Amino acid sequence: MLVLGVAYKKDVADCRESSSSELIHLLRGWGARVSYNDPYVPAIPHDPEALVSMELTDECLSAADCVVIATAHSCYDMRKIAALSKLVFDARGVTRHLRGDNIIRLGE
């Protein structure tokens, strides 16, 4: 599982009140192996497993069972993310303009 964005809002480096930390904690509790990418947050402070942001490559997108868009940073290429990912869970509604059977949007 790959979580995109751990900052509390797009294009900032602050993750103090981000729901992404709780999401990662819940996913781990259910047995998921979780990694993340956030160009603004190189490491999650106070994370017991010391997660660090991984480079967002074509290989990591295609290797992930699911890519969760948790923070909609402007630098993310949503078309590329959707095209390369097996499954995309869009929690921010940033893929509304895209079509694909591999995209699940929160609230749909």
Contact call for residues 36 and 54 (beta carbons, < 8 A):
yes
Spatial distance between the Cα atoms of 21 and 30, rounded to a whole number of angstroms:
14
**Which pTM was predicted?**
0.93
Give the pLDDT of residue 50.
Answer: 74
Give the pLDDT of residue 49.
Answer: 73
Q: How many domains does the chain have?
A: 1
- What range defines the domain where residue 8 resides? 2-105
Give the pLDDT of residue 108.
Answer: 66
Residue 2, amino acid: L
Which CATH number fits the domain that encloses residue 89? 3.40.50.720
Tens digits of per-residue pLDDT, 37-90? 999 999 987 767 778 999 999 999 999 999 999 999 999 999 999 999 999 999
Give the pLDDT of residue 45.
Answer: 75
Query: Which residues are registered as beta bridge partners of 52?
Result: 43
Dihedral sign for Cα atoms in the order 73, 59, 79, 90: negative
Number of Cβ atoms within 10 Å of the Cβ of 34: 18
Give the pLDDT of residue 47.
Answer: 67
Q: Mean pLDDT over residues 24-40, rounded? A: 94
DSSP character for 87? -
Chain centroid to Cα 59, Å, comes to: 15
Query: Which residues are registered as beta bridge partners of 35?
Result: 2
